[in-house]
Amino acid sequence: MEKSFPLHECHVNKVTIIINRTHAILHSIAILFLIHYRLSFFFQHPQNITIPTLPWLLIFVSELILSFAWFLQQACRWRPVYRNVFPERLPVDDKLPAIDVFICTADPKKEPSVEVMNTMISAMALDYPPEKLHVYISDDAGSDATLRCTKEAWNFAKYWVPFRRKYGLLTACPDVYFSSSEDDNGDYKGSEFKAERKKMEEKYEVLKQGLRKIVEGHFTTNVAINNTRDHPTIIEVINKEEDKVKMPQLIYVSREKRPSHNHNFKAGALNVLLRVSAMISNSSYILILDCDMYCNDPTSARKAMCFYCDSQTPSSLAFVQFPQTFRNISQDDIYDNQIRFVFKVHWYGFDGVGGPIISGSNFYIKREALLGSFNKQQDYMALKRLFGPSNDFIKTLVEDYKPRFIKDGESSRMSLENANILASCSYENQTVWGSKVGFLYFSVAEDYFTGLNLHRKGWKSVYLNPERQQFLGTSTTNLNDSLIQWTRWTSGPVTVALSRFCPLTYGSLKMSLVQVLCYSELAFMPLLNCLSLWGFAIIPQLCLFNGIPLYPKVSDPNFNIFSVILVSSILKSLYEVVTTGEQLKVWRNEWRIWMMRSVTCYTYGCFDVILNKLGMKEATFLPTNKVTDDEQVKLYEMGVFDFRTATVFLAPLVTVILINIAAFVGAVVKALVVDDDGDQYWEKMFGQMFLSFFILISNFAVIEGMIIRRDKAKIPLSSTLWSVVFSMFILLIGSVILC
């Protein structure tokens, strides 16, 4: 009887839906009044127009852009749902489907091997039948050090995995287990456990030292530098038949790379893993992990299977997405590394209208969703034109292919030979890999574009966020790495937005209108934010500097329109911060970093896409630096900005602040000293003065970095001087053009 019980359930929070929709209606009414107020300006008699038309038009356009961005955001708040799972109701282990785990690493300099190996070991320690678990580590750098580190980590995993199983440890990652102050002694606390734990900790210390020595020795040779884009295929099964401990299969894969071939970044590496794994394990489900995103809870696989094994789940379910969470988030998360608005707000709303997008990591996906479903009557030649010339790979698509890799030595040798061919850089030539099957290549954000195409074809997804964090990674701890990361994240969706695959026109085949708007919000968000924020940060300030009012007087009833919109936005964001369990300082940090990103990485990411569209620049992919710096970490934990970043990021940020300082101080001086009718000036210019003051007080950390701080992480004098020149130029030229 127990098997008839559901393995998962879905809850709709009706109170949240009512609040979200009521706010959307009321806020929309206020925006309509604003549009009416702005438009009425253009229908006045010319003799009554005392304000220049151009700045009025520009600020109106900025308001329309920001309003459109707000409208798209409401789609993610239309129908949030919350899910629970019951892994204890799963069938016995023999009936569970097999899982392949893909772990991608690309740069051993920026991605420390200790972290990468901990991710690999934690995946092998998942609470899942070991004979049905296969772990693949993709080394896109072709680094001999990574292969050697993988072998060393395997030797340790042979002890760690049985140890975790025996004592039922809740933590799958050895580094976290041995460094955590929390009590995770599993089911035992006796002397036997303590003795084994001590031995295991000693083995882990030996492993860490060994990994560091391997990496340090590797980078003393030129081969390590020149090998990343020019190396042959290397595929090696780490655990052999003679291994007596029952362990998951571990396979090292380094695809062939040549300078003359386009390697398509992470999507290309994942597609190689799709083909290679088909020859070795061919599991029906795949877990995708970033190299620094270890399995914190060993039960995530069983939780995901609660959807796939439930008879009530539709066959169209493509993937189960877990949130990205991080182990090194400080109490005052000044860089908003937890990305609260995505994983605690947006993805719940996405789930209620068809499912969230693929989020780069931490998702279990059905192989069939990526490759398609075919029967034995399928034309082999037609499939070869789609998937490439390998007969053995085609067999994995049309037959119930069960690899005999470990049991049959001759089959093992042949499978490896075929896998090497499948991982060659020329195999995808004249095929549809990356365009119609597998992870798609059109954008560097392969997760966004692949998810869009899956949902467009009718596939669904679900979002699961259990109370215990399933996966934990390492976030950036300085402004430079954070802005570089967000610049990369910006360029991917914007590339899709400014193409024939724009979700507003392309994504409607089998998607609901609300889901199309959700995808559109993610695609257009950086572009809309940077355009509108530059308008709000420059236009009212230039007019304030020259005494031109752009907002109604305080005594004018129309002033209430802008007050209502501002208060409505602030209260709604405060409500979401509080209801997601965060403190008020999170609201402040999010507003500040949103403004910073809008004028820096959102702007550069969009500019990068435009140059690429014009053929003036190739798409680039810079891996996020995972190497931690103790000084930077200390500043981050103290809640102090580290401004040691490129001038190209600091200059626009500081320029905006200087323009707002000049406009606000100039207005105050004019009201108090110069203007004979100060009260009327305050009333007329209050809206613009408040806007400048709000920008300055929200970004006081930038002012502090320019003027007050004297430490190494302050804003360099050179960046400030360049920004002074830019701000003076904008004030001069802007005043001439607008006024």
The predicted pLDDT at position 1 comes to 39
Name the band, by pLDDT with cuts 50, 70 and 90, for residue 50.
confident
The predicted pLDDT at position 406 comes to 53
Task: Confirm whether pTM is higher than 0.75.
Answer: yes
The predicted pLDDT at position 117 comes to 96
> Beta strand 471-473 with 325-326: parallel, antiparallel or unpaired?
parallel
Taking residues 48-71, what's their average pLDDT?
93
- Confidence check: pLDDT of 227 > 90: no
Tens-place pLDDT, residues 294-336? 999 999 999 999 999 998 899 999 999 999 999 988 888 999 9
Under 8 Å between Cβ of 462 and 469: no
Phi, psi of 473 (to 5 degrees): -125, -165
Q: Within 13 Å of residue 271, how many CA atoms lie on the same side as its CB?
A: 30
184 is annotated as contributing to ligand binding: no
Tell me if residue 447 is catalytic.
yes
Q: Which of 127, 140, 608, 642 is catalytic?
A: 140
The predicted pLDDT at position 108 comes to 81
The predicted pLDDT at position 2 comes to 46
| Amino acid (1-letter code) at residue 220 | T
Phi, psi of 312 (to 5 degrees): -80, -10
The predicted pLDDT at position 216 comes to 84
The predicted pLDDT at position 411 comes to 55
266 is annotated as contributing to ligand binding: yes
- Confidence check: pLDDT of 701 > 90: yes
User: 674 versus 731: which is more confidently predicted?
Assistant: 731
Tens-place pLDDT, residues 174-187? 999 998 766 666 66
The predicted pLDDT at position 47 comes to 74
| CB proximity list for 715: less than 8 A, separation 6 or greater | 643, 650, 654, 702, 705, 706, 709
For the ranges 199-203, 262-266, 431-435, which has the lowest average pLDDT?
A: 262-266
Tell me if residue 400 is catalytic.
no
- Residue 8 pairs in a beta bridge with 85
- Cα-Cα-Cα-Cα dihedral of 398, 403, 409, 413, to 10°? 60
Name the band, by pLDDT with cuts 50, 70 and 90, for residue 438.
very high
Tens-place pLDDT, residues 103-133? 999 888 888 899 999 999 999 999 999 999 9
The predicted pLDDT at position 175 comes to 92
Beta carbons within 10 angstroms of residue 53's beta carbon: 11
Phi, psi of 137 (to 5 degrees): -110, 120
> Beta strand 249-254 with 234-237: parallel, antiparallel or unpaired?
antiparallel
Distance of alpha carbon 253 from alpha carbon 255, whole angstroms: 6
Taking residues 271-280, what's their average pLDDT?
95
Taking residues 57-72, what's their average pLDDT?
97
Mean pLDDT computed over every residue of the chain: 90
Q: Which of 447, 481, 608, 642 is catalytic?
A: 447
243 is annotated as contributing to ligand binding: no
Name the band, by pLDDT with cuts 50, 70 and 90, for residue 533.
very high
613 is annotated as contributing to ligand binding: no
290 is annotated as contributing to ligand binding: yes
Residue 288: helix, strand or coil by DSSP?
strand
The predicted pLDDT at position 623 comes to 57
The predicted pLDDT at position 273 comes to 97
Two structure tokens written together for 706? 């320019």
Tens-place pLDDT, residues 445-459? 889 999 999 999 999
- Confidence check: pLDDT of 218 > 60: yes
Under 8 Å between Cβ of 542 and 56: no
With 0-12 CB in 10 A as exposed, 13-18 as middle and 19+ as buried, what is 362? buried
Taking residues 657-661, what's their average pLDDT?
97
Taking residues 160-179, what's their average pLDDT?
92
Two structure tokens written together for 118? 């901990």
Taking residues 670-678, what's their average pLDDT?
70
The predicted pLDDT at position 631 comes to 87
With 0-12 CB in 10 A as exposed, 13-18 as middle and 19+ as buried, what is 91? exposed
Name the band, by pLDDT with cuts 50, 70 and 90, for residue 444.
confident
Which domains, ranges and CATH numbers included, belong to the chain? 97-476 (3.90.550.10)
Tens-place pLDDT, residues 466-491? 999 999 998 889 999 999 999 989 99
The predicted pLDDT at position 221 comes to 58
Taking residues 21-31, what's their average pLDDT?
97
Distance of alpha carbon 596 from alpha carbon 632, whole angstroms: 19
Distance of alpha carbon 674 from alpha carbon 684, whole angstroms: 15
- Confidence check: pLDDT of 414 > 60: yes
